[in-house]
Amino acid sequence: MGESAGFVFNYELVMSDSEWILLECDESQVAELAAEAGLPRVVARLLVNRGITTARKAQCFFDPSLEHLHDPFLLPDMDVAVNRLVRAIRSGEKICIHGDYDVDGVTSTALLVRTLKALNANVTYHLPHRQRDGYGLKPQTVVELARQGTRLIVTCDCGVTALDAVAAANEKGVDVIVTDHHEPGLDLPEAIAVVNPKREDAAYPFPELAGVGVAFKLGQGLVRASGVDEELFITRFTDLAALGTVSDVVPLLGENRSIVKHGLDVLPETKKVGLRKMISCAGLAGKRLTAQCLAFILGPRLNAAGRMDDAASALRLLLTKNEDEAAFLIREIEVRNNERRAEQERVFSEALPQAERKAGAGRLVLVISGVGWNRGVIGIVAGKICELFNRPVVVISRDERRGIGSGSARSIPEFNLVESLESCAELLDRFGGHALAVGLTIELSRLDEFEDRINAVASEKLVAAKLVPRVEIEAEVSPAELTVELAEVVSAMQPFGHSNPEPLFLTTGLKVAEIRRVGDGSHLKLQVCGRGSSVLSCIGFGFGDTAAQLTIGDLVDLCYSIRVDDYWGNEAVQLVLKGIRPSRRTAV
């Protein structure tokens, strides 16, 4: 259920309106890794911040090979799931892949449908409609699939909490294989297999797979058991796996990093017609793709179909082999994406005043609701408000006729939503998701009590004074350390994303040598220098108005990321500004 928001949040700072946090680090581990791996201390610090403390782990991080993928049969119930699918394929039983309406669920479904068709299975698919059906496998869906002759249901990105639906399937004589990555409840559904790396009894080495990652592992196990070229399968499907993994905002470390790195390599040359059309329509054809391209350009387009109408059009785009059909579908998806943007801005503009009032009143969790808010965009709005106020947010679309609210919640690392909502479970009809993102439904008559309860829970975990926007800085560096070599090492840390953010650095006491507004005037170009150092070039996107607050000779502290600028063929380090504040020290 976790989704990339589809917003590129502008968290740049004007002077000092956010708290800059220099991350603490175990200096002994930094020293040991620097010595063992022969790395500069600043690079070793970046790796230790990501839990990478040995030379071997560092090598795997910088060279995330597909050979690092774990054996799929280490996942719980994988052998049972694969054997049942092999039997269904051989006997011609009708198999239905039941997915979800977000990018993770759609790519999972596309991956398994394509895999099963390649193995000559009798396979169809079903995606729930966000507005009519809601999230997950439902008993009424199971009954209808059974009526249509389905003998085996395989869920993607859902199902681990669908106890009633699986029970309904058992009553109808339909087997269910659950593949999911969400947190299980106290009880697992009585499916023939529940393939989920987050099961308490799971021994899988990497529990942070996205839903598409679990589907990818099922496909990998299935082709191995079917005697098909496993390496060919992996090569063909890392494109879909990468798109779903990045869009679901799971940690881009370990196995996910390997999947995404190689998916980004193959995506520009993908054989999938719909993906090629979408890349071209987005203006990315012929360009080097990054995780940010998937998170903020391609992912939101696929998500728009399910947010505004039916996700089936996004799935058909990923399945089609027909150029004309792909062109038609991408046009439809572009229309939906434009509608999504407009609706998102409308809901945000109505929700923001509520958030401001409640934050001003001291609420630690902002519970916001409105009539007529499209359920497809409330998660995005919750994410944006959470980013702005740096506190948990629950955004609820009110259906006054039915007396029901459908909500999406987003949180900060200090407040685990799933654990916290357990304390409010009797007030909710249902909820599920991750520590930082959940969906829920609630009777509107209980909404006020829920708001009081969740804030009472938060009062035991959060301190209002600390709920200010924060920017986490990984290392303080001197101008002398800002080399092309460092920028190249940082670039090699891509793909950036959850748990592997683009590193931010801090340098203090720099003297402003040149100030220029560039572009249309909304951007800032600076030249700065430290004591005895060469001039450093800085670009601040969206910082144009800051020029009026600066004077030549000012001493400033800069928060920034770094990159190599090869303008006119001369390689040099460029600082990409994320924040500027007056310095409290003399020039470095």
pTM of the full predicted structure? 0.87
- Same-domain status, 23 and 165: no
**Any domain includes 118:** yes
φ, ψ of residue 367 in degrees (nearest 5):
-100, 115
Sheet holding 122-126, edge to edge: 122-126, 94-98, 152-156, 175-179, 193-195
**Any domain includes 339:** no
Name the residue with tokens 């800059």.
20
Closest of 37, 27, 41, 29 to residue 59, by C-alpha: 37
**Greatest Cα-to-Cα distance within the chain, rounded to the nearest angstrom:** 79
**Any domain includes 213:** yes
State the CATH number of the domain containing residue 482.
2.40.50.460
- Same-domain status, 449 and 482: no
Closest of 233, 230, 181 to residue 202, by C-alpha: 181
User: In the chain, what is the straight-line distance between the N-terminal and C-terminal CA atoms, in Å?
Assistant: 47
**Any domain includes 340:** no
DSSP SS3 for 531: coil
- Same-domain status, 327 and 414: no
| Residue pLDDT tens, the chain, 588 long | 444 433 333 333 444 467 899 999 999 999 999 999 999 999 999 999 999 999 999 999 999 999 889 999 999 999 999 999 999 999 999 999 999 999 999 999 999 999 999 999 999 999 999 888 888 899 999 999 999 999 999 999 999 999 999 999 999 999 999 999 998 988 999 999 999 999 999 999 999 999 999 999 999 999 999 999 999 999 999 999 999 999 998 999 999 999 999 999 999 999 999 999 999 999 999 999 999 999 999 999 999 999 898 999 999 999 999 999 999 999 999 999 999 999 999 999 999 999 999 999 999 999 999 999 999 899 999 999 999 999 999 999 999 999 999 999 999 988 999 999 999 999 999 898 888 899 999 999 999 999 999 999 999 998 876 788 788 999 999 999 999 999 999 999 999 999 999 999 999 999 999 999 999 999 999 999 987 678 999 999 999 999 999 999 999 999 999 999 877 677 889 999 999 999 976 655
The tokens of 554 are what?
Answer: 């000012």
State the CATH number of the domain containing residue 425.
3.10.310.30
- Same-domain status, 166 and 110: yes
Do residues 556 and 566 touch, judged by C-beta distance below 8 A? no
Choosing from 450, 466, 482, the residue where a domain stops is 466
- Same-domain status, 207 and 274: yes
**Any domain includes 59:** no
Choosing from 407, 441, 466, the residue where a domain stops is 466
Which stretches within 294-408 are classed as H helix?
A: 299-308, 312-319, 323-360, 378-389
State the CATH number of the domain containing residue 109.
3.90.1640.30
**Any domain includes 413:** yes
**Any domain includes 344:** no
- Same-domain status, 327 and 418: no
Let me know if 586 is exposed, middle or buried by CB neighbors in 10 A (0-12, 13-18, 19+): exposed
The tokens of 129 are what?
Answer: 């409609």
- Same-domain status, 162 and 311: yes
For residues 309 and 103, give the distance between their C-alpha atoms in angstroms, rounded to a whole number: 14
Identify the pLDDT of residue 532.
66
The residue segments making up the domain with residue 190 are: 70-332
Q: How many domains does the chain have?
A: 3
Total count of residues recorded for the chain: 588
- Same-domain status, 478 and 462: no
Q: What does the DSSP assignment read for 161-221?
A: T-HHHHHHHHHTT-EEEEE--SPP-SS----SEEE-TTSTT---S-TT--HHHHHHHHHHH
The C-alpha angle with vertex 321 and arms to 128 and 86, in degrees rounded to 5, equals 65
Let me know if 107 is exposed, middle or buried by CB neighbors in 10 A (0-12, 13-18, 19+): buried
- Same-domain status, 510 and 576: yes
For residues 334 and 557, give the distance between their C-alpha atoms in angstroms, rounded to a whole number: 42
- Same-domain status, 100 and 234: yes
CA atoms within 13 A on the CB side of 437: 17
- Same-domain status, 478 and 406: no
Choosing from 282, 313, 332, the residue where a domain stops is 332
Residue 354 neighbours by CB distance under 10 Å: 16
> Which strand (E) or helix (H) includes residue 536?
strand 536-540
For residues 558 and 538, give the distance between their C-alpha atoms in angstroms, rounded to a whole number: 10
**Any domain includes 367:** yes
Q: Which amino acid is at 205?
A: P
CA atoms within 13 A on the CB side of 402: 11
Q: What does the DSSP assignment read for 96-158?
A: EEE--SSHHHHHHHHHHHHHHHHTT-EEEEE---TTTT-SS--HHHHHHHHHTT--EEEEES-
Give per-residue burial for 527-556: e unless 16+ CB within 10 Å, then b.
Answer: bbbbeebeebebbbeebbebbeebeeebbb
- Same-domain status, 442 and 479: no
